[in-house]
Structures are given as C-alpha cells and as structure tokens.
Amino acid sequence: MIFPLKTTSLVMPAAFADIDDMAEIHNKCFSRGWTDSELQALLQDRLVEAFVLRRTTMRITDKPVGFVLARSVVDEAEILTIAVDPDHQNSGAGKQLMQEMIRFLYGNRIAKLFLEVDAGNKAALSLYQGLGFTKVGERKGYYHNDKGQASTAWIMQIEPLKKRRLPGSPEGEEKASSL
C-alpha cells in the first residue's frame, strides 16, 4: 500500500543561500523585480528581517516558494515586500508569511506596522484587511505597470500591540493582537 506524503509549510529566517530563489520569485511577481545584489544588501541590513516559506515533504525541504521582508526602526516597521511564486499563490502562503512577520515584530515590541499595496490588487487587499490592516493614506500614481499605466498605492497600518476586542470573546475582554 502506498501512502501519499503529507506536504507542510515551514516559515524560517531567510539565508544568503536563498537570494537567487528570492530574486526569481520577486521577478515573477513584479514588473520590476529586485536583483540578487539588491536582496543581498537588504539581508545584510541589520534593521531588515526576512522570512522565507518552504514546502516540505517528510524530510525533504524544497526551495522557497515565497518570502517577506520588513525594516524596523525604534517601534515602527514597514513591510518592504512580500512575494509568493505564482504557482503557490492562493494557497495561504502569503498569510503564513505575514502572520510570522507580525508575530516576530510583536515580540520585538513594534507598535505600528505599515505597508504599501496597489489599490487594484484585490487579493492583497483582502489578505491585509483580514489580518487587521486599515487604510491610512494613499499615493496617487505611485505604481507603474509594464505598459506605463499608473495606479494608486494604499498605505495601510496595523498596530500589533494595540488592545482590541477579539472576535468571540466576552464583552469587554481585550487582548493585544498576537495572531
């Protein structure tokens, strides 16, 4: 009898050995992807945190299928980029990456986390709103696609340390968001 191997996801800190895969993923996801040297410079920056998501089967760990980078200064942080290989999008990989980054930043007492997202990217907006991000501003004409068309960037924010009522909790019970 043959048993199918169970595939799981593993989020871990990015390593320099991941740079080629990260650049490949970023180039598949964005009209102007980041180069190996740009990603290497970011990974060398002591203010930048980076996580990759790998799919694993038993003892075999595959190359990264997605990654997220964030830069923090004092008690604020910004998501610099998040990218998931198109073959693995809509699988929960982006959510896993964001949740792990938010947990990490929460543990480091980050009070506010910001990101920018194309206002037309419905999948990303749904992900970020589902995680508790809210729109706090916009930049018109910020993004440009391959055809030179401009689109608006939404600036979104979440406050991981802010106390809020948790869904399903008794009235008045508040807790710092911890995903």
Instruction: Give the pLDDT of the chain (179 residues) as one tens digit per residue.
Output: 565 556 788 899 999 999 999 999 999 998 888 999 999 999 999 999 999 999 876 666 688 999 999 999 999 999 999 999 999 999 999 999 999 999 999 988 899 999 999 999 999 999 999 999 999 999 998 888 777 788 899 999 998 766 554 445 455 444 444 44
Q: What's the predicted TM-score (pTM) here? A: 0.84
User: 100 catalytic, yes or no?
Assistant: no
Q: Which amino acid appears at position 37 of this protein?
A: S
Tokens of 63: 């190359």
Residue 88 half-sphere exposure toward CB, CA atoms < 13 A: 23
CA separation, residue 61 to residues 8, 25, 54, 98 (Å): 10, 17, 7, 20
Q: Are 22 and 51 in contact (CB under 8 A)?
A: no
Question: How many Cβ atoms sit within 10 Å of the Cβ of residue 79?
Answer: 23
Looking at 49, 100, 106, 116, which residue is catalytic? 116
Looking at 100, 106, 128, 143, which residue is catalytic? 128
User: 173 catalytic, yes or no?
Assistant: no
Tokens of 50: 């980076």
- CA 100, CA 157: separation in Å to the nearest integer? 16
- CA 176, CA 171: separation in Å to the nearest integer? 15
Q: Which residues contact 18 (CB under 8 A, 6 or more apart)?
A: 52, 63, 64, 67
